[in-house]
Amino acid sequence: MKVLISDKLEKEAVDILKSKGLEVDINTELTPEQLKEKIKDYEALIVRSKTKATKEIIDAANKLKAIGRAGVGVDNIDIPAASAKGVVVMNAPSGNTISAAEHAFALMFTLSKNIHCAHPMLKNKKWEKKLLGVELFGKTIGIIGLGRVGSHMAKMAKGIGMNVIGYDPLMTKEKAKKIGVKFVDLDELFRTSDFISLHVPRTPETKNMINENTLNKMKKNARIINCARGGVVDEKALYNALKSGRIAGAALDVFEQEPLIDSPLLELDNVVFTPHLGASTSEAQINVAIEIANSIASALNEGKFPNALNLSQLVKK
């Protein structure tokens, strides 16, 4: 059986696919029309974020059994179209856990110590000693989403002496306690946290969960970190809260529209920005590539679909 890789994938992952007896083709320069024509000959497609697996491309795939995303987010894959075609969509949720948690932590440190302001000042030969930051020790961090990344974030926060509270509708109080997190409802989390770190997918339930109403519940010294998904934060409401001093700051790696080029948020000094770098470490890139390669091999050779996202919606061919 044949696998098409349409985005850059590490050699380690390609070697795994070949060792499992699969024929692998790599073509990272296909236009949508070329991919639509080429996909007809393949049982599996592996993408990262560049390739858009649209309905038109999926509908043209007569042999396709699985689409693998080397990463977590699947915004670039039309899952309803895949389900209707009987194609399983899988992602790689474990490979970038450490990288994403560390990035969120780095943003929190940067924001609390005003490093994002101090660095360009010194580069411009301005020695500014009046940038007053805050310590993380003894502060309360509220983590929304206690899955792999959120749980690792909790461990790191406890390691530097932070008080950790959390909320996750899929986790029990008992399980939260085992990872050292005090389980609270969202209202208490918003009211009592000095830092709020988001680790949730973008769903109808989480869209704009940080909004004017929830921002008004927060402490004036609260700071928000979002390394999860764009759209979880209402960016207009966040801008207003930051501009007015309603909350103290924010650190953002993901945005409603990417790339972020024209946004009033960019005018503010109490915001740290990075261009969706949460999984951008060499280790994470290799890990997610290996994870999805193993999943694709299991799907084609054994009929098993690790980390499948749409099995319950699947329409059999």
pLDDT along the chain (317 residues), means of 10: 97 98 97 97 96 97 97 93 97 95 98 97 94 97 96 97 96 91 97 98 94 98 97 98 98 96 96 96 96 98 96 77
Name the nearest CA neighbour of 151 among 188, 174, 181: 181
Instruction: Please name the residues in contact with 104: beta carbons below 8 A apart, sequence gap of 6 or more.
Output: 149, 153, 197, 199, 225, 227, 251, 253, 278
Confidence at residue 75, expressed as pLDDT on a 0 to 100 scale: 87
Kindly report the pTM of this predicted structure: 0.88
For residues 294 and 222, state if they share a domain.
Answer: no
User: What is the side-by-side strand order in the sheet with 23-26?
Assistant: 23-26, 2-5, 44-47, 66-69, 88-90
Rounded CA gap, 68 and 51, in Å? 11
Structure tokens at 78: 């039309």
- Tell me the CATH number at 145: 3.40.50.720
For residues 260 and 124, state if they share a domain.
Answer: yes
For residues 177 and 143, state if they share a domain.
Answer: yes
For residues 292 and 266, state if they share a domain.
Answer: no
The C-alpha angle 193, 248, 124, rounded to 5 degrees, equals: 135
For residues 305 and 212, state if they share a domain.
Answer: no
Query: What region, left, alpha or beta, does residue 234 occupy, with left being phi > 0 and alpha being psi -120 to 50 degrees?
Result: beta
For residues 126 and 250, state if they share a domain.
Answer: yes
For residues 83 and 225, state if they share a domain.
Answer: no
Rounded CA gap, 250 and 243, in Å? 11
- Report the catalytic residues: 229, 258, 276
Can you give the residue range of the structural domain that contains 290? 2-95+282-313
Confidence at residue 73, expressed as pLDDT on a 0 to 100 scale: 85
For residues 136 and 231, state if they share a domain.
Answer: yes
Confidence at residue 26, expressed as pLDDT on a 0 to 100 scale: 98
Confidence at residue 316, expressed as pLDDT on a 0 to 100 scale: 60
For residues 141 and 224, state if they share a domain.
Answer: yes
For residues 224 and 171, state if they share a domain.
Answer: yes
For residues 62 and 153, state if they share a domain.
Answer: no
Specify the number of domains making up the chain: 2
Residue with tokens 């830092």: 195
Q: Is residue 211 classed exposed, middle or buried when 0-12, 13-18 and 19+ CB atoms within 10 A define those classes?
A: middle
Confidence at residue 240, expressed as pLDDT on a 0 to 100 scale: 98
For residues 206 and 224, state if they share a domain.
Answer: yes
